Structure 1
């Protein structure tokens, strides 16, 4: 096995799922972290402890449990803010996932109760996305265009899976650009700083879907040049049901509330209301309390391991996988076939074999869990003229031996369909 940059076997012991056996005594080979990551004991126990001993609603109860729960919830906000280099903790909004974070920002544009010119949107104005986006970064902007009459435009994708970046796509009529920091299918890391500079040149705002980058690379939101960044907890060894929107404070202040209810208000009369300052303006009702605390524990865990070490480990795995998969006859990479500006997600097809068959055989006979389908990125698959791909995605707990198991399984698949 290739020497890795940190003790992956020690890390694997933190994840209880890797101690189990699949039916017939097969070990689990989990190569689907781009879909959802596994959870370490540290996160599981933090959540269990809070449920068991400290749980109460936050921001409301004037008793010990209420204070403990509120302190833990707000401490998680501090941890997330520090993890992504947010200038202020108040710029971190807890949502239920990245999709909600993206929808929250889309809702602010063209909203008649918001007269800030940066968010006014109508016929003749433009929204720019890309062809490689997850549906969560396509559909909210389609809905926005339908509501307002604005024009939806997009960057294409090159044959080798890179963003076909043409700065002229962003014009004086562009109000918002929203693209992935890293593609969930291609693994491509996009030149977001360059795109952000162009957007700001014309007075547009830029949003990044960082769901596939924040778990895997050191990310500093201010260095990216973005105005808004969305990511999600379940892909970064945290629980599901918790996501994050980071936004510049002055933009969040200018945006209308997304949901109405308890805790997002300052005062309520029968005919009108005033709103709490950010972040609470965007956190209506009882929030995902223990999920946020679990995300804070996930941040602690990733910070202790070290994001630079995780990134280096994944680069080792990705280089190994690209070389090993080249030895599989008729395998075609969908996306970059080199390490340049890419992360640890590798998608491919096998000639004459549907990805669903690939995934089923790998799981049933080899215990290898991969993702098959269009990965919530159907337009990207249409661009490449294919219905689906097989995707292997790597994380801090994966090993080169697991990649070997994938390759063995793929050779077997080809024999079955020969």
Structure 2
């Protein structure tokens, strides 16, 4: 019937899994169950092919050459900028800056906007569950100009203490930088509420959202969120490494000074003075990751064709099953048990160290992550050195959960005796 959209079935997702060549290879003689997507997602053939083609067929430097190869590559590069803008709901492709990763995007904002607009005593609010990439850049700013860093506490269930957030807002608050989905816990933070409260307190407070995990697991619309900046990285979104994205409102980006200097970000250069292009070019000094940006465009095409709502539903079903089954294993403690979660499960066992559990899982063909997950303050708050983290992707399936459960059960027998 016209107007009816058919939702992908589990058979469809089984077919999507076949798009990822690495998942067909064994690990330690076992069928691979890749459950470390939160660290870095595997790549579909469409991305691999786009990367290869960008190097095989059309490679040339961009923005400078008048010859056909350069023009073709430039068009493909800039087409990705438009795809990114559409994917996250930005007003214009001119609000999309290509960086190396989320880390560089946050550092860009801290050093360009922060060094220009903040002074000693100004306050920045972050949360207790931030990745180091959203802690250290602000600590550097503290050391450089004396800004004050204030922390939203994390409750025992791995959610933010929103009452405490209200109390942190003050006349000195200038900026809030918050993770959308915790990479260590899977907690989906109420960023819309945080942004609304911050803007209601003072409309001049700016908000950056670290979307490294959210763009992988759910639809994102930056205009709907109301954020001023949004950052994510390509390799978690089934794209290549070495490319990330900073979204910033056009008026903010064009008022910010360059973060780095070099070729392709200038209008004119003399020994007396240099003038700069408008955003986004002013923040993209030097030759960028050309093939990687083009391949990121292929990754966005791939997930957009499946539908982020569909991916979220698929992962949500698997997450519920994974948690339900892990809860049957004696001695596990779970971190991040709030009601709003993406496809990440983090746990410890009273009968075994996370590293020992992960080594046994490795022998069972199961790839998980252990440690502090670049969230040392969060782990310290929970009183643990680290956790075992299993994270889902669009290619995850019930067989992965069975393999994980078999491995955890084996670890319990070996370590818990």
Instruction: State the TM-score, normalizing by the size of structure 1.
Output: 0.95
Residue equivalent to 2:22 = 17
Runs of 4+ in 1 over 3 A off after TM superposition: 3-6
C-alpha distance in 1, partners of 2:43/2:295? 10
Residue equivalent to 2:4 = none
How far the C-alpha of 1:400 sits from its partner, in A, is: 1.6
How far the C-alpha of 1:23 sits from its partner, in A, is: 3.2
CA contact (8 A) 1:232 1:242 kept: yes
C-alpha distance in 1, partners of 2:134/2:121? 21
CA contact (8 A) 2:111 2:259 kept: yes
C-alpha distance in 2, partners of 1:217/1:378? 26
Give the 3-state SS of the residue equivalent to 1:304 in structure 2.
Answer: helix
1:309 maps onto 2:313 in alignment: no
Aligned pairs for 1:208-227 (under 5 A) are 208-227=209-228
How far the C-alpha of 1:4 sits from its partner, in A, is: 5.5
Q: C-alpha deviations, 1:10-32, integer Å up to 9, x for none?
A: 011100011212233x1110000
1:199 maps onto 2:198 in alignment: yes
Q: Structure 1 stretches of 5 or more lacking a match?
A: none
C-alpha distance in 2, partners of 1:278/1:126? 27
How far the C-alpha of 1:129 sits from its partner, in A, is: 0.5
CA contact (8 A) 1:184 1:345 kept: yes
Are the structure 2 counterparts of residues 397 and 184 from structure 1 closer, same or farther at C-alpha, using a change threshold of 3 Å? same
1:239 maps onto 2:240 in alignment: yes
Q: C-alpha deviations, 1:179-227, integer Å up to 9, x for none?
A: 1000001111111111112222322100000000011101001111100
Residue equivalent to 2:272 = 271
C-alpha distance in 2, partners of 1:227/1:373? 32
Residue equivalent to 1:172 = 171
Q: Structure 2 stretches of 5 or more lacking a match?
A: 1-7
Q: C-alpha deviations, 1:250-289, integer Å up to 9, x for none?
A: 0001111001000010111102211001110100000110
Q: C-alpha deviations, 1:365-399, integer Å up to 9, x for none?
A: x1000000000000000000000100000010001
C-alpha distance in 2, partners of 1:356/1:60? 50
CA contact (8 A) 1:30 1:369 kept: yes
Are the structure 2 counterparts of residues 275 and 48 from structure 1 closer, same or farther at C-alpha, using a change threshold of 3 Å? same
1:358 maps onto 2:357 in alignment: yes
Residue equivalent to 2:366 = 368
How far the C-alpha of 1:331 sits from its partner, in A, is: 0.8
C-alpha distance in 2, partners of 1:173/1:22? 53
CA contact (8 A) 2:28 2:362 kept: no
1:79 maps onto 2:78 in alignment: no
C-alpha distance in 2, partners of 1:282/1:292? 15
Are the structure 2 counterparts of residues 354 and 18 from structure 1 closer, same or farther at C-alpha, using a change threshold of 3 Å? same
C-alpha distance in 1, partners of 2:273/2:149? 34
Aligned pairs for 1:328-339 (under 5 A) are 328-336=329-337
Instruction: State the TM-score, normalizing by the size of structure 2.
Output: 0.95
How far the C-alpha of 1:330 sits from its partner, in A, is: 0.5
1:89 maps onto 2:93 in alignment: yes
C-alpha distance in 2, partners of 1:239/1:21? 22
Residue equivalent to 1:158 = 155
